[in-house]
Amino acid sequence: MSHSLDPYDRKLLMLLQENNRTSQRDLADAVNLSPSAVNRRIAALEASGVICGNVSVVDPAAVGRPITVIVEVQLADERLDLLEEVTQRFVNCPQVQQVYYVTGDFDFLLVMSVSEMTEYERLTRELFFMPGNIRTFKTYVTMRRFKQGLKVPIDV
Amino acid sequence: MSHSLDPYDRKLLMLLQENNRTSQRDLADAVNLSPSAVNRRIAALEASGVICGNVSVVDPAAVGRPITVIVEVQLADERLDLLEEVTQRFVNCPQVQQVYYVTGDFDFLLVMSVSEMTEYERLTRELFFMPGNIRTFKTYVTMRRFKQGLKVPIDV
DNA sequence: CCTGAAAATCGTGAGAT
DNA sequence: ATCTCACGATTTTCAGG
């Protein structure tokens, strides 16, 4: 695989995490490289998977999904095949934005984006009450999202 | 404000949430519009804040931050000025990706991206042990991130 | 609000250093 | 590895329906 990222790559990643619409010319100016050097580096970062996506961020409220719900899920049985089945159910649900499998008092933490609590209620039936393997779940409704991003800190 | 999004806008948002590098011509083909119509709509969506960002997604492991930690924070006092102070502390920490203020057993839920547990340990001192106002916090280390995105489901 | 074409900008490869 | 330059593609603007 590709070896350690040099300071140029890191700076580019920082900038692209802020705004990936910045033109390669401006990026070039910012890091003191030529546009084509920037072009090659970005291509390499994408090919190697360091950059694993390029997306627009949509304001949930603007598309009718103002409610973010956080759910702690506790499994009944951690057998591998059952775990797989549950995971798929979570991942395939479009309202589920994030699925973390964690150590501690519960097993999964979900972040969900819903339009109203009735929608969430309906989803709980599909996701948690369905067949089996889920012992309990705990719901937390967010009153406010103070920060929500995927930005990873990158040391220079 | 901008009026309700029509089906064209919704489709565009869906596509841009997947990949905002898709050329406006391809987008135009996908939604059956002219490229310039697509251009104007995207500009409007950005101006109105429906699209609130355009970012590259970086693989945390590839930049030396393989560990995602989830923290439940319980405050000692929910006085507004203290709350504000704590919030700022969380938001300003680069390792903190997400800050949710929630109802229920605890007050804040944080998602953090760190390089090692020692880094996390150091951050707990800055974030939670500092002056006052934090009663307790509970740490959950994620063994696996099955899904991590900000994609909002958009109904057509 | 759309289309279609013109104008400006940008991304990308070739060749040289 | 890099840069410069030139070409092709894309974005953006503008006239007209």
* Chain A residue whose CA is closest to B10: A63
Phi first, then psi, for residue A115 (nearest 5°) are -85, -40
CA–CA min distance A50, chain B (Å): 5
Cα–Cα distances in Å, from B121 out to A102, B61, B117? 18, 19, 6
- Chain A interface, mutation test: which of B73, B147, B154, most A Cβ atoms within 10 Å? B147
Q: Is the CB of B2 under 7 A from strand C?
A: no
Residue-wise pLDDT tens for chain A (156 aa)?
546 899 999 999 999 999 999 999 999 999 999 999 999 999 999 999 999 999 999 999 999 999 999 999 999 988 888 899 999 999 999 999 999 999 999 999 999 999 999 999 999 999 998 877 999 999 999 999 999 999 999 998
Which nucleotide's C1' atom has the smallest distance to the CA of A25? C10
Q: Is the CB of A47 under 7 A from strand C?
A: no
d(CA B72, CA B91): 15
Model pLDDT, residue B156 = 82
d(CA A1, CA B127): 36
d(CA B17, CA A59): 11
Contacts of residue B147 in chain A, CB cutoff 8 Å?
Answer: 90-91, 96-99
d(CA A22, CA A24): 6
pLDDT at position B133 over 60: yes
Model pLDDT, residue B77 = 87
Contacts of residue A55 in chain B, CB cutoff 8 Å?
Answer: 16-20, 54-55, 57, 149-151
d(CA A30, CA B38): 30
Sequence-distant (6+) residues with CB within 8 A of A88 are none
| Chain-chain contact of A145 with B99 (C-beta, under 8 angstroms) | yes
d(CA B62, CA B66): 8
Model pLDDT, residue B4 = 81
Contacts of residue A142 in chain B, CB cutoff 8 Å?
Answer: 100-103, 109
In this complex, the residue with its CA at the shortest distance from the C1' of nucleotide D4 is A34
d(CA A2, CA B43): 36
d(CA B74, CA A74): 21
d(CA B108, CA B61): 25
Which member of A16, A21, A97 has the closest CB to residue B150? A97
Sequence-distant (6+) residues with CB within 8 A of B142 are A100, A101, A102, A103, A109, B67, B68, B69, B70
| Chain-chain contact of A63 with B10 (C-beta, under 8 angstroms) | yes
Q: Residues B12-39: what's their mean pLDDT?
A: 97
Contacts of residue B16 in chain A, CB cutoff 8 Å?
Answer: 55-56, 58
User: pLDDT tens digits for B101-132?
Assistant: 999 999 999 999 999 999 999 999 999 988 77
pLDDT at position B10 over 60: yes
Which member of B54, B140, B152 has the closest CB to residue A104? B140
d(CA B81, CA B45): 35
Model pLDDT, residue B1 = 52
Nearest one of B106, B65, B60 to A70, comparing CA atoms:
B106
End-to-end CA distance of chain A: 21
Q: Residues B57-78: what's their mean pLDDT?
A: 96
User: pLDDT tens digits for B74-87?
Assistant: 999 888 888 999 99
